[in-house]
Chains A and B, each alone.
Chain A
Amino acid sequence: EAQVTQNPRYLITVTGKKLTVTCSQNMNHEYMSWYRQDPGLGLRQIYYSMNVEVTDKGDVPEGYKVSRKEKRNFPLILESPSPNQTSLYFCASSSPSGANVLTFGAGSRLTVL
């Protein structure tokens, strides 16, 4: 089944404790991206990657890091999480041959205390 897999789905952590949210896709998509979704603000792009070793900032990159060492994986790293990073996070992948339609993962709900 074609899918984007995110882990963990739910996480409660404390301020300053580094965490990584993994994202993997099995569709051989070139493009991958991370979004956060907050009430009233919709989806906001954090980072995106157009290919292995190629990443770029989205609209809200502060406090986040990403890497794209393999085509299928695009982890999101929070080096020192803060409460304002409490949010619902979505990873997505797409391909230019597929009209750039985004396929989203199931989401990761993060709470930073």
Chain B
Amino acid sequence: QKEVEQNSGPLSVPEGAIASLNCTYSDRGSQSFFWYRQYSGKSPELIMFIYSNGDKEDGRFTAQLNKASQYVSLLIRDSQPSDSATYLCAAQGDYGQNFVFGPGTRLSVLP
């Protein structure tokens, strides 16, 4: 059974701090990894994707991938109250459209 695990939280950080969200996956064949943000009552929307080992930066967001450790993380710098949401980690298998999502981590950024 392919699994993606995340700490469900809630993770609380003060405004302006760095939020660190972590994700581990069980399928070594997973090729690409995605972080989606989901506000309460809304559909998920893409934050970032990564498929190579190392770091990938996009504005205040940095995704990190370590395939040897089967570990993906998302750092949010200068966290804002508008970042308060649930963050979903997803792994895409080595074929087609087989995505496996983690349960999500709820982030709360306190003003």
Q: Which A residues contact B (CB, under 8 angstroms)? A: 31, 33, 35, 40-45, 48-50, 56, 58-59, 90, 94, 99-102, 104-107
Instruction: Confirm or deny: B111 has a beta carbon within 8 angstroms of a beta carbon on chain A.
Output: no
A102 touches B46 (CB 8 A): yes
Instruction: Bin chain B's interface residue count.
Output: 20 to 34
B98 touches A107 (CB 8 A): no
Q: Which B residues contact A (CB, under 8 angstroms)? A: 4, 8, 32, 34, 36, 42-46, 49, 88, 90, 92, 96-104
A43 touches B32 (CB 8 A): no
A99 to B90, CA, bound (A): 14
Residues of the B chain whose Cβ atoms lie less than 8 Å from the Cβ of A45:
97-101
A33, A40, A107: the one within 8 Å of B99 (CB): A33
Main secondary structure on chain A at its contact with chain B?
strand
A41 touches B45 (CB 8 A): no
A94 touches B97 (CB 8 A): yes
Interface pairs A-B: 9 shortest CB-CB: A104-B43, A42-B103, A43-B101, A48-B97, A42-B101, A31-B97, A101-B46, A50-B96, A104-B44
B97 nearest CB neighbor, chain A only: A48
Listed by A's residue number, 27 A-B pairs whose Cβ atoms lie within 8 Å are A31-B97, A35-B101, A42-B102, A42-B104, A43-B88, A43-B101, A44-B101, A45-B97, A48-B96, A48-B98, A50-B96, A50-B97, A59-B100, A90-B43, A90-B44, A94-B97, A99-B32, A100-B32, A100-B92, A101-B34, A101-B49, A102-B34, A102-B99, A104-B43, A106-B43, A107-B42, A107-B43
